[in-house]
């Protein structure tokens, strides 16, 4: 359906419509300008081929991304692709477009684009030594959870105690139904988003998963979480957040800034963080996701399971791994996850 055929209630200029909405969502002018530049370049590319934005299919998107190579770096290509994906995903969600052609494109380019810069190479023994120096129960729980699950800082902050199931613990709580029959696991939903209420509490961070994921909890992480729960302050929220502050914001759900501060403090002590160091040199929560991905992928040789654990795969693959969770995901994870304690 071309733009001229759309109803009068739809946006005449989809890019402007999208930019207005992300401004209302609190995005900065700098972010808006970056989106506008990329989206207008793609729109011009389509116009030369006689297409409107809502007529582009995944091959049109892939062709534009392919022609970017050689003129910009790979990390920039990945950024541009993410902008298109966000744009199409949003326009599909609000009903202006019928589908998101970038969903398939991102899966196709996932293996060919390195979205991370060349990062510090930390071996498992060195990371084990680093973890050994983290003794505060909250800091230790945060660091080990990030390293053992590969989840993002915001996803960690959004965990409620109901999202955790432990087979052996002196404490009792009701886990969510999605964890029935899956002891020693943590559920990371795709739904929470910043500024919106979820499980009775307005959230300060967004989960960025394509689909909800159930991640196994090994004995090391289980032990660390039990130690944390033994001293966890009473949460301020009825949502019962798993991780709460033990400093000035006593009992308040952790925010991504708090998580970054925890990791940065210990990374500085280790000499793994310096002002102005950038992603290539500094160890951050996102580095832990990179560490998890790299080491687990190398150990398992199974990109599919790693992508499942990261929440980066489409619904059909999610369904496959969800169905085989106990027989495949749990066994592969338990066999190959690195030891840190």
* pLDDT tens digit sequence for 252-301: 999 999 999 999 999 999 999 888 777 778 899 989 998 998 888 888 87
The pair of three-digit structure tokens given for residue 332, joined into one six-digit string: 């592969």
Q: What is the pLDDT of residue 323?
A: 57
Q: What is the pLDDT of residue 3?
A: 38
Q: What is the pLDDT of residue 6?
A: 38
- Tell whether pTM > 0.75: no
Q: What is the pLDDT of residue 124?
A: 93
The pairs formed by 318-327 with CB atoms below 8 angstroms and a separation of 24 or more are: 318/210, 318/211, 318/213, 322/214, 325/182, 325/214, 326/181, 326/182
User: In the beta sheet, which residues pair with residue 198?
Assistant: 201
Q: What is the pLDDT of residue 262?
A: 96
Identical topology for domains 14-114 and 124-336? no
CA atoms within 13 A on the CB side of 165: 18
CA distance 229 to 261: 21
Q: What is the pLDDT of residue 102?
A: 87
Q: What is the pLDDT of residue 120?
A: 78
Domain 14-114's class?
A: mainly alpha
Q: What is the pLDDT of residue 9?
A: 34
Instruction: Tell which CATH classification among 1.10.10.10, 1.10.443.10, 3.40.1010.10, 3.90.420.10 matches the domain 124-336.
Output: 1.10.443.10
Tell me how crowded residue 323 is: count the other CB atoms within 10 A of its CB: 10
The pair of three-digit structure tokens given for residue 302, joined into one six-digit string: 């199974």
Domains in the chain: boundaries: 14-114, 124-336
- List, for the chain, all residue ranges whose pLDDT scores fall below the cut of 70: 1-11, 74-75, 107-118, 313-327
């Amino acid at each position: 359906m071309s733009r001229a055929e759309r109803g009068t209630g739809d946006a005449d200029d989809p890019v402007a419509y999208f930019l207005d909405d992300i401004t209302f969502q609190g995005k900065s002018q700098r972010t808006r300008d970056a989106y506008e530049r990329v989206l207008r370049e793609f729109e011009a590319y389509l116009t030369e081929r006689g297409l409107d934005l809502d007529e582009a299919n995944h091959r049109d998107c892939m062709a534009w991304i392919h022609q970017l190579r050689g003129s910009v770096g790979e990390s920039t290509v990945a950024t541009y692709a993410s902008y298109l994906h966000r744009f199409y995903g949003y326009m599909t969600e609000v009903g202006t477009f019928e589908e998101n052609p970038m969903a398939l494109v991102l899966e196709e380019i996932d293996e060919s684009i390195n979205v991370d810069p060349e990062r510090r190479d930390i071996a498992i023994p060195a990371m084990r030594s680093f973890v050994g120096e983290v003794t505060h129960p909250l800091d230790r729980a945060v660091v080990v959870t990030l390293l053992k699950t590969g989840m993002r800082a915001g996803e960690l902050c959004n965990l409620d105690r109901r999202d955790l199931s432990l087979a052996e613990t002196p404490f009792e709580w009701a886990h969510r139904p999605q964890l029935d029959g899956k002891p020693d696991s943590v559920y990371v939903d795709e739904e929470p988003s910043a500024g919106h209420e979820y499980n009775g509490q307005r959230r300060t961070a967004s989960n960025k998963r394509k689909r909800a994921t159930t991640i196994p909890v090994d004995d090391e992480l289980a032990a660390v979480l039990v130690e944390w729960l033994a001293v966890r302050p009473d949460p301020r929220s009825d949502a019962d957040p798993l991780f709460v502050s033990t400093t000035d914001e006593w009992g308040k759900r952790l925010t991504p800034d708090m998580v970054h501060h925890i990791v940065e403090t210990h990374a500085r002590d280790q000499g793994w963080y310096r002002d102005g160091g950038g992603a290539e040199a500094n160890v951050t929560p996102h580095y832990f996701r990179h560490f998890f991905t790299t080491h687990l992928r190398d150990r398992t040789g199974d990109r599919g399971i790693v992508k499942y654990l990261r929440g980066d795969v489409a619904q059909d693959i999610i369904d496959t791994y969800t169905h085989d969770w106990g027989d495949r995901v749990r066994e592969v994870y338990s066999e190959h996850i690195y030891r840190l304690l």
